[in-house]
Amino acid sequence: TVKKCLVSACLTGLYTRYDGCIKYSRPCMEALAPYHWIPVCPEQLGGLPTPRPPAELIGGDGFQVLDGRARVLTRNGEDLTEAFIRGARQVLLLAEMMDIDLAFLKSGSPSCGTTPLAGVTTALLQRHGITVQEF
Binding site for ligand SF4 (CB under 6 A): 8-10, 16-17, 41-43, 106, 109, 111-112
Spatial separation of the C-alpha atoms in residues 43 and 52, rounded to whole Å: 10
Spatial separation of the C-alpha atoms in residues 33 and 51, rounded to whole Å: 29
Q: How near is the Cβ of 69 to ligand SF4 at its closest, in Å?
A: 21
Q: Pick between residue 9 and residue 32 the one whose CB is nearest to ligand SF4.
A: 9
Q: Are 39 and 58 in contact (CB under 8 A)?
A: no
Q: How near is the Cβ of 17 to ligand SF4 at its closest, in Å?
A: 5
Q: Pick between residue 1 and residue 26 the one whose CB is nearest to ligand SF4.
A: 26
Q: How near is the Cβ of 1 to ligand SF4 at its closest, in Å?
A: 26
Q: How near is the Cβ of 129 to ligand SF4 at its closest, in Å?
A: 20
Residues paired with residue 12 on neighbouring β-strands, in sequence order: 24
Q: Pick between residue 64 and residue 111 the one whose CB is nearest to ligand SF4.
A: 111
Q: Pick between residue 1 and residue 21 the one whose CB is nearest to ligand SF4.
A: 21
DSSP class per residue in 55-116 = EEEESS-HHHHHTTS-EEEETT--B-HHHHHHHHHHHHHHHHHHT--EEEE-TT-TTT--SS
